[in-house]
Amino acid sequence: MHNEHSDTHFQSRIDNGEHIEPKDYMPEGYRKHLIRQMSQHAHSEVIGMQPEGNWITRAPSLRSKQILLAKIQDEGGHGLYLYSAVETLGVSRAELIEQLQTGKAKYSSIFNYPALNWADIGAIGWLVDGAAIVNQVSLQRTSYGPYSRAMVRICKEESFHQRQGYEIMTTMMRGTKDQQAMAQDAMNRWWWPALMMFGPHDSDSPRSGDAVKWKIKRETNDELRQKFIDKTIPQAELIGLTIPDKNFKLDEKTGHYTLSPINWEEFHRVVAGHGPCNKQRLDHHIKYHQEGAWVREAADAYKIKTAKKELVTA
C-alpha cells in the first residue's frame, strides 16, 4: 500500500494534475511557500487600494468616480477571497495582518509608487492590473484548490479593471497636447515597475524551482513577463503611446519583443523599503486598522450579549 503521508505520494498526485485540498497531506515547504505567496498576494490587493483611493474624490466626472469606486471595492474583495484561502492553511487573519504591519510579509512593490495625477489611474488600470491579470490567469491552474478557486473568481472581475484603465489612456491620447503629455508621462513612470511586478529573472529566483515542481506556479516569471510585453506593446502603439525604451524591438523570427535590461537595483531598493511610498502605505494601513478596532470589539460584544439573551429566552 502507498503511504499517503509521503512526499513521493504528494508529488505523484501533483504530477497527475490533482488539486491539493486543505486537509490533504502536504510537505511543510509547500505549505510555507503557499502561505508566503498567497498572503503577499492578498496584502497586495488591499494595499493596492491606496494609490487609487487617493483619486476617488478628484475623479474628473461622476462616471469615472463610480467606476473607480467599483474597481477599488473589487480589489478589497480580492484581498478577502485570498485571506480566506490562506486561512485554510491554518494561519489566522490576525496573524496575517500582523505580518503585513510588521513588515514580515511583503506586498507587491508596485504600490510603493505614488499616483500623481489622473493619467496614473489610467496607467495603473491598464499596466498594473494588466500585469496582475497575466499572472492571475496562469494561477487559475495552481495546484492548491482554495487558491485556484479564488483566482478563477478574481479573473472574472479583473478584465473590467484593465479596460477602464486603457479607456482613460485612450481618452487622454485623443485629447489636448497637455493630456497626451500626461498620459505619456504616466506610461514612462509605470512601464518599468509594471515589468518588475513579475519578479526577478528565472535565473535569479531561487524558490521558483520548487514552486514550478509543485505546480504552485504554472509559468515562470520570465514567461509571464514576456506574455505581458507582447500583448501590451501593440496596445500602446495603437493609441500613440511610446514605449520608454530606445532598444525595444520585435524579433520577427520568434514573434516576441525584446527590451533593454531591467534595472533590478531599483527593484531591490523598493522591495527593501526605500520606494517613494513604503512608509506611507504601511502607516495608513496601521492607522485605519487601529481606528477600526472599536467596531470589531463592539460587534463581538453585541454577539455575546445577544447569545446570552437567547439562552434566557430559550
Partner 1 sequence: MATDTQLDLWEVFIQSKSGLPYIHSGSVHASDVKMAMQNARDIYTRRGEGTSIWVVPAKHISASNPDDNDMLFDPSNDKIYRHPTFYVMPEGAKNI
Q: Which residues bind partner 1 (CB under 8 A)?
A: 4, 21, 23-25, 73-74, 77, 80-81, 84-85, 87, 92-94, 97-98, 149-150, 153, 156-157, 290, 293, 296-297, 299-300, 302-303, 306
**Considering the rule CB under 5 A, would residue 43 count as an interface residue with Fe ion?**
no
Q: Which is nearer to Fe ion, 125 or 275 (CB)?
A: 125
127 makes contact, choosing from Fe ion, partner 1, none, with CB < 5 to 8 Å by partner type, with: none
- In one-letter notation, the amino acid at residue 136 is Q
> Which listed residue (52, 75, 87, 219) binds Fe ion by CB under 5 A?
75
Q: Which is nearer to Fe ion, 75 or 87 (CB)?
A: 75
CB of 299 to partner 1, least distance (A): 4
303 makes contact, choosing from partner 1, Fe ion, none, with CB < 5 to 8 Å by partner type, with: partner 1
Residues 6+ apart with CB under 8 A from 229: 195, 256, 257, 259
> Which listed residue (112, 129, 151, 187) binds Fe ion by CB under 5 A?
129
Q: Which is nearer to Fe ion, 127 or 282 (CB)?
A: 127
CA atoms within 13 A on the CB side of 112: 21
Rg (CA), the chain: 22
CB of 198 to Fe ion, least distance (A): 16
Q: How many residues are recorded in the chain?
A: 314
Q: Which is nearer to partner 1, 88 or 179 (CB)?
A: 88
**What is residue 282's three-state secondary structure?**
helix
- In one-letter notation, the amino acid at residue 289 is H
CB of 311 to Fe ion, least distance (A): 43
Dihedral, 149, 153, 155, 156 alpha carbons, nearest 10: 140
Residues 6+ apart with CB under 8 A from 271: 106, 109
149 makes contact, choosing from Fe ion, partner 1, none, with CB < 5 to 8 Å by partner type, with: partner 1
Give Cα 238 distance to the centre of its chain: 26
75 makes contact, choosing from partner 1, Fe ion, none, with CB < 5 to 8 Å by partner type, with: Fe ion
CB of 298 to partner 1, least distance (A): 9
Residues 6+ apart with CB under 8 A from 65: 56, 59
Contact 217, 189 (CB under 8 A): no
